[in-house]
Amino acid sequence: MMDPTFDQWVSSTSYPTLFKVDRQVYVDLTRAFPGLGDVTRRQDELPLWVRACGLRLELQIPGRQLAWIRRADGGWLANCVCWPVSANGQSRLRMQLWVEPHALTPLRDQADGLI
């Protein structure tokens, strides 16, 4: 069964545009969130509860790529999920992203992950 994310997508067998994959990747979050590296607020000005409990977004985070989809302009987007944690490590959430191919780095010794 296909992931519910894709259940409304119709892909022709003659000209497929959706390719389901399953592979471990590193996601460059600076490509998904360009302002991530620009910290304009000093950390010592933040309340302690924000620094302790806020969502921690690393510049690169491990995740899983779930699919490739072909865009109408000929380019590609990768669907991936990652699980960032809170600064204190007590919380985590599932973050689903659509990113350009250059935002992903496959783990070494992995095939293309096509299913």
pLDDT value for 73: 96
pLDDT value for 45: 83
Note whether residue 8 is domain-resident: no
Please report, to the nearest 10 degrees, the dihedral formed by the alpha carbons of residues 96, 98, 104, 110 taken in order: 70
Domain that holds residue 79: 15-35+42-106
Note whether residue 5 is domain-resident: no
Note whether residue 111 is domain-resident: no
pLDDT value for 105: 95
Strand partners, 68: 19, 78
Note whether residue 87 is domain-resident: yes
Note whether residue 27 is domain-resident: yes
Residues of the chain with pLDDT under 70: 1-4, 39-40, 109-115
Note whether residue 70 is domain-resident: yes
Q: Of 67, 63, 62, give the one whose Cα is nearest residue 3.
A: 67
Note whether residue 81 is domain-resident: yes
pLDDT value for 114: 59
Classified as helix, coil or strand, 90 is coil
pLDDT value for 111: 58
pLDDT value for 34: 86
Count of domains observed in the chain: 1
Cβ atoms of 51 and 69 within 8 Å: the answer is no
The continuous run of DSSP H or E covering 31 comes out as helix 29-32
Note whether residue 112 is domain-resident: no
